[in-house]
Structure 1
């Protein structure tokens, strides 16, 4: 299969996890492949086996929304996976019309974080908050966030990057007690972003870099999982205030789908105490510059 055929790879990975019994089919004898066969998916979705095969091989160029929705139903895709399926089709159309990412030229210059967003970060100073790009660059952060997440390795543009921190920084395994879950969420979010933003060179370069650096990332990337980061709980083990868990909410910034505001809050007394201690420690630590870089977050 063509390494650029993201749609085919995603379809194959999803049909491999659906058993014949789950799809209402009777299995006879030993099967050579896990999950559903191509012809079974085609029959259940109401398309020809030849057409579905061409779709997986990247040779069917314009599947309709109705066909994609039928495949999503057969493959039991969740809402995030269904949206990703449609994103991959749009991505293929963009690539065919604009050429490969390598021909697309250099990325546009980074747009600075506007003053209003910086003031917003400062205004929620009692809790950690930062602004995140689709490639997980930390574009700016308030002091509690700088203290909370430490100093992720910088991206090519000099900004800290949380994905690089998770997969390339040994300290991350100590910072996140549930590192495996964080790694899986991170890879899934990058996979989701890559479907939404075809031709995004910084994102493509980050994926290539992490694939070269980390066996764990390569394994997770090959699983084709997509994860949204709208809200959830994240566990930390901080060198100053100890272990605790925070809940987070991710808000897409109006007028800028490429930036999100992530805000952490305390769900219980232990977390509230930890944030108060973190705030006290931050207040007594040496002043940090607000250029988009994080402090070292260590004692």
Structure 2
């Protein structure tokens, strides 16, 4: 029968095999005393406290929840067999990969059609943790450079804080950043153990000093509407308002539609998005 010591040994061995670069952490100067990730890095990326993760490795923590194990498995890049072994060592109930507290990421065909119906207005569909699930042509071009990321990394919060274009494309970046963090705080309150939410927050806390500072302010506010001032590399400056619509029969999916007053320079610039060639 597996013991808590077996779980701790497995975690130590697996984190020693993941380099900081593979985990997406910034390069550091100086020599590291141990290979792979440090305990505090795994804890941050998994969205749990350092004390909690340390107790897991030391065999002092009982009954870790499936969402916590899911988050740790993602950080350690475990495949399906390794993930199953992790759950067995923790004596946790078996669940299908990525099923614990994670909403379906498929967008219904009717919602995809809505994205096309609102053209030429930019629009996209987001998951509860701001994953970019679908977009019309103008909606994708509204975020220059995000198409260069793999599908799994396309996330508007990650784009705001980590993409090279993020700070350049938003003329009111401070306002957008604060609203993004306040929204994630609200989502984290609704889904406190969701792996996609805690994983994203952990990643951004580690990789972005600005995000970490805003996260500590504990502002809580779901995004329903607002405005963004773009300094777009292809169509120039424009200020667009947006409305956030809840998608029926989904777990936190939202439709975001941008618009501008017809006949204004902002509206003219917005209409150019579908024809624009965006270069990083």
Q: Give the TM-score normalised by structure 2.
A: 0.62
Return the match for 1:278 from 259, 268, 273.
Answer: 273
Q: Does 1:230 align with 2:220?
A: no
Aligned pairs for 1:208-223 (under 5 A) are: 208-223=202-217
Contact 2:170 2:230 in 1 (8 A): yes
Return the match for 2:67 from 95, 101, 111.
Answer: 101
1:260, distance to aligned residue in structure 2 (A): 0.4
Contact 1:234 1:245 in 2 (8 A): yes
Q: Does 1:298 align with 2:264?
A: no
Alpha-carbon RMSD across the aligned residues, in angstroms, is 2.4
String of CA shifts for 1:225-270, please: whole Å, max 9, x gaps.
0122101111101111101100100000112141000000113601
Unaligned stretches of 5+ residues in structure 2 = 1-62, 71-94
| CA distance in structure 2 between the aligned counterparts of 1:170 and 1:160, rounded to whole angstroms | 13
1:156, distance to aligned residue in structure 2 (A): 8.4
Bigger Rg over Cα: 1
Unaligned stretches of 5+ residues in structure 1 = 1-96, 286-296
1:153, distance to aligned residue in structure 2 (A): 7.9
1:102, distance to aligned residue in structure 2 (A): 1.3
Contact 1:244 1:274 in 2 (8 A): yes
Contact 2:168 2:231 in 1 (8 A): yes
Contact 2:105 2:127 in 1 (8 A): no
| CA distance in structure 2 between the aligned counterparts of 1:276 and 1:152, rounded to whole angstroms | 20
| CA distance in structure 2 between the aligned counterparts of 1:275 and 1:167, rounded to whole angstroms | 23
Q: What is the aligned residue count?
A: 189
Moved over 6 A (4+): 153-157
Secondary structure at the counterpart of residue 236 of structure 1: strand
Distance 1:141 1:153, change over 3 A: closer
